[in-house]
């Protein structure tokens, strides 16, 4: 894969994940809007699946609308920035 194909592929991948996040937002599935689970530690990953057992809080109760909205706004901004950079890069190539 050349650089242009790689960038186009990764942008399409980001677009798909953003679409999933938008769907999660619409149906209020807020825990689905967390950052990449691979970036979370094992304790945080456990909480996304099982909640906080010590406090008897379900996973759906841990993730609030405000933090999910912040994540979605950041994802939208990142996608828009990447799209703009790709457009500039392709125009100059």
How is residue 25 written in tokens? 């937002």
7 or 66, which is more confident: 7
pLDDT for 77-86, tens place per residue?
A: 888 888 888 8
Coil/strand/helix, residue 52 = strand
Residue 45: predicted pLDDT: 62
Residue 24 Cα to chain centre, angstroms = 10
Residue 38: predicted pLDDT: 46
pLDDT for 16-75, tens place per residue?
A: 888 888 888 888 777 666 655 445 556 666 676 777 888 888 877 777 766 778 878 888
The pLDDT-based confidence of 76 (bands split at 50, 70, 90) is: confident
The pTM score is: 0.56
Name residues whose C-beta falls within 8 Å of residue 40's C-beta, 6 or more positions apart in sequence.
34, 48
């Amino acid at each position: 894969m050349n650089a242009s194909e790689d960038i186009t592929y990764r942008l399409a991948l980001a677009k798909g994940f953003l679409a999933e996040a938008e769907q999660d937002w619409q149906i209020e599935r807020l825990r689905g809007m967390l950052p990449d689970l691979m970036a979370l530690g094992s304790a945080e990953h456990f909480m996304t699946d099982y909640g906080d057992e010590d406090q008897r809080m379900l996973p759906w109760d841990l993730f609030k609308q405000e933090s999910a909205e912040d994540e979605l706004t950041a994802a939208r901004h990142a996608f828009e920035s990447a799209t703009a950079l790709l457009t500039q890069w392709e125009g100059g190539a």
